[in-house]
Amino acid sequence: MAKKKTPKKMDLVDLYMDYVLEHNAPPKSVYQFSKLNSFEESTFYEHFSSFDAIEAYVFKAFFEHTIKTLHNSAEYETYDAKNKLLSFYFTFFENLTANRSFVMYVLEKYKANLKQLKHLQPLKEVFTHYIDELDIQKPDMVKGQLLKIQNKAMKEGAWVQLLLTLKFWMEDTSASFSKTDIYIEKSINTSFDIIDTTPINSLMDFGKFIFKERFQTK
């Protein structure tokens, strides 16, 4: 009898992603999946409760890999909040692009309403915490409870912005997804200009880009 393996957490993720990409469907059961890969079924449950849990974890893992990459750069630590966020977006979407087939498999059927996708909740938790840590400077116009409401609104707005960018990337047909890069730069610049209360030029620029992509290219 062949000796059973003891895969680690990311080993299970890699095995699951490979299976899905080869079969365009999840394994029929955890038992089948563990037997196919020569490990005990109980080993799977030490790390995940289900295949859905793996899919949710993958997006959090992409985030964690992005943050690790950014913090390995001494230059990143010198950036202001806007440029840190731009660096995050570009690096995060590079990771998504490197795994696009699997990401599209998970998200395609939900792209009309990504906010309802439970697989993205772990990503939302770590991303909104990241936004909080950026300590984005806001106009000094509110205090106390109103400031708490403003901070919550900013984190929710940043999350919606990430979802909109994700949806744009899913629909992007340009080479190397270059239009997504343009979308990222324009949308982040616009959001920070709004915070600075000087939005007109960026809003017009971003609006022209979206109009061209969504109406003139149909």
The pLDDT tens digits of the residues spanning 59-114 come to 999 999 999 999 999 999 999 999 999 999 999 999 999 999 999 999 987 777 77
* Cα–Cα–Cα angle for 169, 171, 177, rounded to 5 degrees: 50
150 in the same domain as 56? yes
What is the band of 200 on the pLDDT scale with cuts at 50, 70, 90? very low
What does the alpha-carbon distance between residue 6 and residue 151 come to, in Å, rounded to a whole number? Answer: 44
- Between 193 and 179, the more confident residue is 179
- Between 39 and 195, the more confident residue is 39
The confidence score (pLDDT) of residue 109 equals 76
140 in the same domain as 212? yes
Q: Are 150 and 142 in contact (CB under 8 A)?
A: yes
100 in the same domain as 19? no
190 in the same domain as 170? yes
169 in the same domain as 110? yes
99 in the same domain as 20? no
The confidence score (pLDDT) of residue 214 equals 64
131 in the same domain as 70? yes
Q: Which residues pair with 39 in a beta bridge?
A: 5
Give the tokens for residue 163: 């979802």
132 in the same domain as 150? yes
Give the tokens for residue 64: 């964690």
Q: Which residues are CB-neighbours of 174 under 8 A, at least 6 positions away?
A: 180
116 in the same domain as 79? yes
76 in the same domain as 104? yes
Give the tokens for residue 157: 């707005």
Supply the mean pLDDT for the chain: 86
Q: What is the pLDDT of residues 20-47, one digit of tens each?
A: 999 999 999 999 999 999 999 999 999 9
What does the alpha-carbon distance between residue 19 and residue 12 come to, in Å, rounded to a whole number? Answer: 11
The answer to whether position 169 is within a domain reads yes
- Between 44 and 136, the more confident residue is 44
> Residue 32's domain spans which residues?
9-45
Closest CA to 48 of 65, 64, 34: 34
Reported for 162-166, long-range contacts at CB under 8 A and 24+ positions apart, including other chains, are: 162/89, 162/127, 163/114, 163/115, 163/120, 165/89, 165/93, 166/96, 166/107, 166/114
Grouping H, G, I as helix, E, B as strand and the rest as coil, residue 196 is: coil
**Count of structural domains within the chain:** 2
